[in-house]
Amino acid sequence: MADFSQFTRRKFLTTAGASAAAAVFLKGCLGNPPSSTPTAQTSPTAAPAVNMGSGEAPEVTTAKLGYLPIVESAPIIIAKEKGFFAKYGMPNVEVSKQANWASARDNVVNGSGAGGIDGGQWQMPMPYLIGDGLITNGRKVPMYNLLKLNTQGNGIAVSGNLKGKGISLNIKDPAVIKGFEKTAGRKFKAAFTFPNANQDFWIRYWLAGNGINPDKDIDLLAIPPAETVQGLRTGTIDAFSTGDPWPYRIVADDIGFIGALTEQIWQYHPEEFFALRADWVDKNPKATKAILKALMEAQQWCDKPENRPELVTILSGRNYFNVPAKVLTPPMEGKYTMGDGQPQINNFQSGVLYWKDGRGSVSFPYKSHDLWFLTETMRWNFHDGAIKDFAMAKAMIDKVNREDLWREAAKEAGVATADIPTSSSRGEEKFFDGVVFNPENPEAYLKSLKIKAA
Ligand code: CA
């Protein structure tokens, strides 16, 4: 490959746009697991220029993106830290740590113009709920779901008081939890940090799959993250559903053990998403695509095993998670000490994945996944049954899910055609209890579930 002189390189970067160079860079980074032998193509400055025209310039160079200090946010942070936002013409993107999910929600309702954010990292189906005013006191702020940040990387932590009772993926004796009150004087208490979204769904799925009704047999409630760890330690709560690195810390600090990893409940499950306010996207479609390209490149970077040590260093830093690097390393390597006599897990594919997994694209926002989250919303009758039927759910998805923008951005960034899904559906999804979700027939799935809201 030709070696450009400094002058030539600078000239082509300013005239052709850095995105053209990045297109070739992306092509050199594909593969699952990614190749451990970098090629000359991975150097963006060594790539030939392709003139994409001045029409590609984003409308704005800034956006304010929220994130939470959990592994799901890695692509947003890496896009900033590695200069990918800048590379695609958005040098002034700000990433803003959110105190919790409720703050992120309130900040996106405000928007960046009023000191808030334009969007960022979300549990599902938060962008839908915010758009329909269901968790914003009726204030509707339409949002677009644009990209999946990751699959896997979450788990259910259980109190050390419950060791030796066979509480794992398949709970040996559900009566230990259902009949908790008889021995403990109160119901089994489980928690998540934000209601009606991923962590709530994971623990509900796990319990129900084990024959335990999360609404009747136990107390299930929302508690701030710091209090979940404290509660587990002091014995006021018995389990909580959370994201890496928290499950690891529970075991490392000998507070409890991991009952189940979410990847055991549903392998390669969709986890968190990137979504922006619809008004921002409608006004800035090119800037939206620039952000998506930067995130895609960051996702590819994050998924290379050889980049994980640097990823841990960046994420654990004071500016971001502010945690000891050692708590992030094992989950980032797919190493989980489950505790309570369960076998250790040591498989990169069992941890958080950002670009590709065993089912194909991680990044692509499949409509079939949005449908699962809305189906579960109906299953548990969240929001007083605001989602009435599948016709309504599908209409919501067609409005909120912008897989079209993902595809355009991927094409413009030079992502290989084979890595751009042609279908809106990832197909059938299979859960640990043998239940199958067929996106073509969500009614059958819902009907088949034994435990659900009446
Ligand atoms: Ca999560």
CA of 198 to the centre of ligand 1 (A): 6
pLDDT the model gives residue 224 = 79
How many percent of the chain have pLDDT more than 90?
A: 82
Centre of ligand 1 to C-alpha 129, Å, is 17
**Over the chain, what is the mean pLDDT?**
89
Please give the pLDDT value at position 229.
Answer: 85
Nearest to 316 by CA among 29, 45, 73, 7: 73
**Is there a contact between 50 and 16 (Cβ–Cβ < 8 Å)?**
yes
Q: Is 447 helix (H, G, I), strand (E, B) or coil?
A: helix
Helices (H), 68-197: 74-81, 84-87, 101-110, 126-131, 175-178, 180-184
| Lowest-confidence segment of 5-19, 276-290, 348-362 by average pLDDT | 5-19
| Rounded distance from Cα 84 to ligand 1 centre (Å) | 24
At 252, which amino acid appears? A
Sign of the C-alpha dihedral computed for residues 328, 329, 335 and 339 taken in this order: negative
Alpha carbons 294 and 83: distance in angstroms, whole number? 8
Radius of gyration of the chain (CA): 22
The answer, yes or no, to whether residue 35 has pLDDT greater than 80, is: no
Judged against a pLDDT cut of 80, whether residue 46 lies above it is answered with no
Q: Where are the alpha helices (DSSP H) in 73-197?
A: 74-81, 84-87, 101-110, 126-131, 175-178, 180-184
Q: How far apart are CA 151 and CA 7, in angstroms?
A: 42
CA of 50 to the centre of ligand 1 (A): 38
Nearest residue to 17 via CA among 48, 47, 53, 44: 53
C-alpha 185 – ligand 1 centre gap (Å):
32
Confidence (pLDDT) at 55:
53
Tell me, in angstroms, the distance from the centre of ligand 1 to residue 171's CA: 23
The DSSP-derived string for 240-280 is EEEETTHHHHHHHTTSEEEEEEHHHHSTT-B--EEEEEHHH
Burial status of residue 63 (CB atoms within 10 A of its CB: 0-12, 13-18, 19 or more): buried
* Ligand 1 centre distance from Cα of residue 287 (Å): 26
Residue 65 parent element (H or E) = strand 64-67
Closest CA to 94 of 61, 73, 63, 72: 63
Write the CA distances from 277 to 67, 108, 109, 297, integer angstroms.
Answer: 15, 7, 9, 22
Dist. CA 272 → ligand 1 center (Å): 6
Q: CA 379, CA 385: separation in Å to the nearest integer? A: 9
- Dihedral of the alpha carbons of 352, 355, 357, 359, in degrees to the nearest 10: 130
The CA 366 to ligand 1 mean position distance, Å, reads 17
Nearest in space to 34 (alpha carbons), one of 273, 357, 407, 421: 357
Place of tokens 């991680």: 362
184 C-alpha to ligand 1 centroid (Å)? 30
User: In which band, very low, low, confident or very high, does the pLDDT at 153 lie, cut at 50, 70 and 90?
Assistant: very high
Provide the pLDDT for residue 248.
82
Taking the centre of ligand 1 as the mean of its atom positions, its distance from the CA of residue 242, in whole angstroms, is 6
Summarize the confidence of residues 326-347 as an average pLDDT: 95
* Distance between CA atoms of residues 356 and 30, nearest Å: 9
- Residue 199 CA to ligand 1 centre (angstroms): 6
Chain segment 434-454, per-residue pLDDT in tens: 999 999 999 999 999 999 997
Taking every pair of C-alpha atoms in the chain, what is the biggest distance, in angstroms?
78
Residue 81, pLDDT above cutoff 60: yes
Question: Tell me: the pLDDT tens digits for 359-415?
Answer: 999 999 999 999 999 999 999 999 999 999 999 999 999 999 999 999 999 999 999
Mean pLDDT is lowest, of 54-63, 124-133, 320-329, for 54-63
**What tens digit of pLDDT does each residue of 110-129 get?**
999 999 999 999 999 999 99
Report CA-CA distances (Å) from 224 to 248, 269, 281, 293, 416. 18, 24, 31, 33, 42
**CA 300 to ligand 1 centroid distance, Å:** 20
| pLDDT average, residue stretch 204-212 | 98
Q: How far is the CA of 123 from the centre of ligand 1 (A)?
A: 6
> Which residues in 221-254 are b (16+ Cβ under 10 Å) and which e?
ebbbbeebbebbbeeebbbbbbbbbbbbbbbeee
Question: Each residue of 284-310: pLDDT tens digit?
Answer: 999 999 999 999 999 999 999 999 999
Spatial CA neighbour of 123 closest among 227, 222, 228, 238: 222
* Residues in CB range of 113: below 8 A, 6 or more apart: none
Cα(385) to centroid(ligand 1), Å: 24
Q: Which residue is it, tokens 């549903």?
A: 266
